[in-house]
Structure 1
């Protein structure tokens, strides 16, 4: 099978800075802002969003169909293997779904979905993490979910899964498989086992969203930052004696965007946690040393 040529990304719209542009003086640094924010009328940050705006760290995204042209059976079913909703499927069923879900890759900082470029597809996340967030007209961002490998997200009306005005941003280099509306109806909704598991996933995600909204209203900034650190280390926390402490490969600006506060405040809180030996700070990553006491700080 011939590997399809990746689509060429559209040129940046008016007001969108090129890579490496510096934010103008006085521009707020507190929140993650949206790439291609043409839907926001006269935003206060002017024509140059802050450095942590999605898409600022990388060139306009490209998508690789790596894995489409291989004869290895394991590679063919890579996207659906070890995904919760596809457990106990037969080999033939997995092959059929894999054929309908081409694999694509995105670099950290790229957008998988935005309201300005909507697409009704279902993403199956295999590698990396994806942040779902929305942006107000004032430039404030609210993270509504952090998607981890082995689950699904996307604009899929048939499943009751809507993105609305949300953005989906790659926190790491990610690998996803993409299914169209037709294939979702053909392979997923027609199977009672898969449909029931999708319903369960969406239910858990709604519960997580309610908790995030409660945290944003009732918790202090240090509590929100501690909660963010614990959330990011949930799946990497060592379970055996002597295992390496979990690390978070994100910058202070990224942590601030996830916690809904400023970079300066986040840096101050993180240094305070480091002084208490709860975490260890290094360039580009944070090591959680004492998750139990950090939980106390999370409220």
Structure 2
């Protein structure tokens, strides 16, 4: 997932433009900023904290499409002229976000055509994230999906020569939702990853210990543990 994100430069440029037009809002942990039933009336820029974007199946099972970090945009449906949002946006920590109403956004693009170009690039990158997440769920096993998620959490700045990487803390349940798997299955895979010295987890975060091996697993459509 990390390679699917828009470039850091694009996100920074968009954020710089939108800061002139948005309104600052703060929300506590566990807040839903929007759901698929809500009108897509605003674009958001996350300034502090973390937000989870997820889909819910007809059986009530959650699939986390993306966990957002500060600087990232969300609420992309507002850019597509959609009537409603396409995901649930839930805060997984207290957050501060910039909220840009659609009408204000349209005026901003009229005044700054470059912003329109940047937003198109951002929208394309988001569509790619969603498409590849759904492909992973459909065609990859849990170990492969978990490896992809962990590498995605490392971000686009991950160096191919790096051997280790420190990641923010995630619970087994959060990782299960990010891989569309049962928590018990993810726990089993994590224990296997630990035994194979691919990662270590503690109360403060996750350490990836063997990035080349994780990349190899992420590219497979058959893992060493079936979902």
TM-score category, normalised to shorter length: 0.7 to 0.9
- After superposition, residues 219-298 of structure 1 pair within 5 angstroms as 219-234=140-155, 237=158, 245-283=165-203, 285-298=205-218
CA distance in 2, matches of 1:135, 1:189: 36
Q: CA deviation at 1:164?
A: 3.5
Cα 1:156–1:231 shift into 2, 3 Å:
closer
Larger relative CO (CA 8 A, sep 6+): 1 or 2? 2
Per-residue deviation, 1:86: 5.0
Q: Which has the larger radius of gyration?
A: 1
The Cα RMSD (Å) is 2.8
Q: What runs of 5+ residues in structure 1 fail to find an aligned partner?
A: 1-81, 88-93
Relative to 1, partners in 2 of residues 1:180 and 1:206: Cα closer, same or farther, differing over 3 Å?
same
TM-score (structure 1 length as normaliser): 0.61
CA contact (8 A) 1:120 1:155 kept: no
Q: 1:7-48 CA deviation, whole Å, 9 max, x = no partner? A: xxxxxxxxxxxxxxxxxxxxxxxxxxxxxxxxxxxxxxxxxx
Match of 2:134 among 190, 206, 213: 213
Residue 175 (1) aligns with residue 124 (2): no
1:83 aligns with 2:3: no
Q: For the residues of structure 1 that align with 2:110 and 2:14, how far apart are their CA atoms?
A: 11
Determine the C-alpha separation between the residues in 2 that align with 1:105 and 1:237. 30
CA contact (8 A) 1:124 1:176 kept: yes
- 1:108 Cα shift? 3.7
The structure-2 alpha-carbon separation of the partners of 1:119 and 1:198, relative to structure 1 and needing over 3 Å to count, comes to closer
Instruction: Tell me how far apart the structure 2 counterparts of residues 161 and 277 of structure 1 sit (CA, whole Å).
Output: 47
How much does 1:116 deviate?
4.3
Contact 1:155 1:161 in 2 (8 A): no
In 2, Cα distance between equivalents of 1:161 and 1:127: 27
- What TM-score comes out, normalization by structure 2 length? 0.79
Number of residue-to-residue matches in the alignment: 208
